[in-house]
Amino acid sequence: MTTTKDLVLAVDLGGTNTAFGLVDRSGQCLARGTMATDSRFPVAQFFQRLHENSQALLAGLKGGQALAGIGIGAPNANPFTGTIEHPPNLQWDFVDVRAELARYGPFPVAVTNDANAVALGEMLFGAAKGMRDFIAITLGTGLGSGIVVNGELVYGSDGLAGEMGHLTVTPRSDRECGCGRVGCLETYASATGIVRTALELMSIRRAPSVLGRIPSAELTSRLIFEAAQSQDALAREAFEVTGRVLGAKLADMVLLNRPQAIILFGGLAEAGNLIFDPTRRAMDASLPADCRGKVPLLPSALDGSEAAILGAAATIWTELRGKVPPAGG
Amino acid sequence: MTTTKDLVLAVDLGGTNTAFGLVDRSGQCLARGTMATDSRFPVAQFFQRLHENSQALLAGLKGGQALAGIGIGAPNANPFTGTIEHPPNLQWDFVDVRAELARYGPFPVAVTNDANAVALGEMLFGAAKGMRDFIAITLGTGLGSGIVVNGELVYGSDGLAGEMGHLTVTPRSDRECGCGRVGCLETYASATGIVRTALELMSIRRAPSVLGRIPSAELTSRLIFEAAQSQDALAREAFEVTGRVLGAKLADMVLLNRPQAIILFGGLAEAGNLIFDPTRRAMDASLPADCRGKVPLLPSALDGSEAAILGAAATIWTELRGKVPPAGG
């Protein structure tokens, strides 16, 4: 029995729960688990528990595999510094992930945010296999983007590039964004954005909607999706508006980056044609004639339940293959 | 006397004239000349004359240097295919530059458009020396952009990336663009754009302007610049509007790419603070607070009269150093 370094530990650090798994080079997740994140307690305790849980997971595997490295996806993660800074849903204000993990062994560690992780996951294991120029967009609570150019993720000079969620929509909008400005793309193209769009449409349209029976604070993108599937006109229009706003910005991205594909990921993307069709139409309508219809808009090819783990795994596998600059640490 | 391959032939193929020069690795232009482009005649004649002229130039140098390669900047050039397609100001509809030059020797040839050439010129010899993430913008008749990410030019999947000139301005505008759409950035942020802005302002403002004495078809960015320097309020406002529209789009680019700097090049950029100040203000005003003031807006550091030649030289030197993917040919 030989020891092969053919696995990475991949971690999706979330506000409530943390999922982790052991993933091989081909993107197979051989074992996985979850634990409460519990950010009430000191961060060192979190990494202690993560270490114990992953050791147990590893011990459960046959064949004596050893870890080649650790990939961690987290909100507000900075891939250059290996830190998590002011994460919105955690009680830790600053986490030096690399320093915390160094207590448990000299493993290579890659730290990334969720949209970048998804982009690398799609490139290694998903819908962007073999592509060198593409964009992955996560439509969750907000809008995240991972942009790949010449086969490498765009990190920018400080590791924080790819903030498509804060591009300004056209025409101008007054919707307040968490970043302190108004009219950012994610105030429309996200799970929370489509809720705001449905509310705005209810202020405009006279025809009744099943959504009118739900208190506005309880409205979710899931409920709008279900209403749209039941042919509720207002819910369908909410998807149309979302796609129109998103598609216009994707046209800008086509002009800037000429990607081979744009991949939509996350809860809102799971609405399928309801969101893909109007987005595709708006993207083409916003492009010069010679660019239309050339950039496919694809759904993610990562299994939704494992996508975050596969993304974190792809990040460390990519770094181990030397495709990402060592980036500061 | 030894033969060293320490020079490239750099060519700036323009609608009326073609400039060419012999440039060493450090960006020194050792000799240069110009010739009429004369696109009335077959393109083979152009390359024959270019060959003769460059041989004469080379013969005039002491030391028996030989060419390491040829770099050509041209409108509508595709770096992947080495071709020029439907150039707006030339009577040749399609030019296979690599095939034409192959008649004269087995030189490596790099073909590029002007904005990409300027970006590589700034990176090798100018304001972006040592930078790995920056954007160069040419404010000429139109608006061109060369975007560098991770030390490499963004060509996209087909060689045609970087079309910032056709991003849509906010708020929406009806200005017709040469691309067939309305409201593209270059209908504002370019030498022709500021003329249109001055005309629009003359339709809005009541106060007289010295520009009102000039037939609109004769108005140029140079005349607006001179009027602004003489404190003409309308001419100054035209620069303000141009900067406001450009700065808002540069903010998007900061969010997307986190560049180390943005470089402005070309006739309009030579207006100095008249264009840099409002652009910088608008860029900062359009960014989230934590991004403001971080990305310097720089003037080009290439000598204007040699910039196009240095850009073409940088393109082939970059390719010879293996920093640019061989790109199809």
pLDDT in tens, B57-75: 999 987 777 899 999 999 8
Q: Which domain holds residue A75?
A: 7-118+305-320
* C-alpha distance from B328 to closest chain A C-alpha (Å): 14
Shared domain for A72 and A155, answered yes or no, is no
Secondary structure class of B24 (helix, strand, coil): strand
Tell me whether A133 touches chain B (CB under 8 Å): yes
Cβ-defined contact of B172 to A168 (cutoff 8 Å) = no
Same domain, B295 and B309: no
DSSP string, A112-130: E-HHHHHHHHHHHHSTTTT
Whether pLDDT at B1 is above 70:
no
Q: Tell me whether B172 touches chain A (CB under 8 Å).
A: yes
Residue A216 in domain: yes
Q: Residue A150: list chain B partners with CB under 8 A.
A: 149-150, 152, 154-155, 325
A45 has pLDDT over 50: yes
User: Does residue B122 form part of some domain?
Assistant: no
Distance between CA atoms of A290 and B40, rounded to whole angstroms? 27
Pairing assessment for the beta strands A143-149 and B134-139 based on DSSP bridges:
unpaired
| pLDDT tens digits along A213-252 | 999 999 999 999 999 999 999 999 999 999 999 999 999 9
Task: Give the CATH number of the domain where residue B257 resides.
Answer: 3.30.420.40
> Do residue B286 and residue B217 come from a single domain?
yes
Is pLDDT at B300 greater than 90 in this prediction?
A: yes
B3 pLDDT more than 60: no
Report whether B145 contacts B165 (CB < 8 A). yes
> Does residue A326 lie in a domain region?
no
pLDDT reading at A133 higher than 80: yes
How many domains in chain A? 2
**Are A156 and A271 within one domain?**
yes
What does the pLDDT average to over A269-296? 95
What is the average per-residue pLDDT within B133-160? Answer: 94
CB B288 to CB A180 under 8 A?
yes
Whole-prediction pTM value?
0.88
A134 Cβ contact list (under 8 Å, min separation 6):
A119, A122, A123, A128, A148, A259, A260, A261, A262, A263
Q: Is A85 on the interface with B (CB under 8 A)?
A: no
Q: Is residue A123 part of a domain?
A: no
Average pLDDT over residues A76-93: 90
Residues B294 and B315 in one domain: no
Looking at the structure, tell me whether residues A137 and A283 fall in a common domain: yes
- Which of A58-67, A293-302, B218-227, B288-297 shows the lowest mean pLDDT across its residues? A58-67
- Taking the Cβ of residue A123 and every Cβ of chain B, the question of whether any pair is shorter than 8 Å is answered with no
pLDDT on residue B324: 42
Chain A residues within 8 A of B286 when measuring between CB atoms = 168
Residue A1 is assigned to a structural domain of this protein: no
Residues A135 and A270 in one domain: yes
User: How sure is the predictor about B47, in pLDDT bands with cuts at 50, 70 and 90?
Assistant: very high
Task: Determine, yes or no, domain membership for A329.
Answer: no
Q: Is the pLDDT of residue B328 over 60?
A: no
Mean pLDDT calculated for residue range A36-42: 95
Pairwise CB contact (< 8 Å): B258 & A132: no
**Cα gap B211→B199, rounded to integer Å:** 9
Q: Is residue B189 part of a domain?
A: yes
Q: What is the pLDDT of residue A322?
A: 64
CB A8 within 8 Å of CB A69: yes
pLDDT at A303: 86
Specify the pLDDT at position B322: 64
pLDDT score of A326 more than 60: no
The answer on A162 and A98 residing in a single domain is: no
A284 and A135 part of one domain: yes
Residues B89 and B190 in one domain: no
Assign A213 to helix, strand or coil. Answer: helix
Are B182 and B265 in the same domain? yes
Higher per-residue confidence, A174 vs A4: A174
B interface mutation test: which of A157, A160, A186, A294 has the most B CBs within 10 A? A157
In angstroms, what separates the C-alpha of A261 from chain B's closest C-alpha? Answer: 9
Per-residue pLDDT, averaged over B269-278, amounts to 97
Q: For residues B20 and B64, what is the distance between their CA atoms, to the nearest angstrom?
A: 19
Q: Are B147 and B154 in contact (CB under 8 A)?
A: yes
Q: Does A325 score more than 50 pLDDT? A: no
Structure tokens at B127: 């304001």
* Residue A4 binned pLDDT confidence (cut-offs 50, 70, 90): low
pLDDT of residue B4: 59
pLDDT beyond 90 at B10: yes
Q: What does the alpha-carbon distance between residue B317 and residue B26 come to, in Å, rounded to a whole number? A: 10
User: Which of helix, strand or coil describes residue A205?
Assistant: coil
Give first-to-last CA distance, chain B, whole Å: 34
Average pLDDT over residues B178-191: 94
Instruction: Give the rounded percent of residues in chain A with a pLDDT score beyond 90.
Output: 84
B21 and B168 both lie in a single domain: no
Evaluate whether residue A125 is within a structural domain: no
* pLDDT recorded at residue A15: 86
What 3-state DSSP class applies to B274? helix
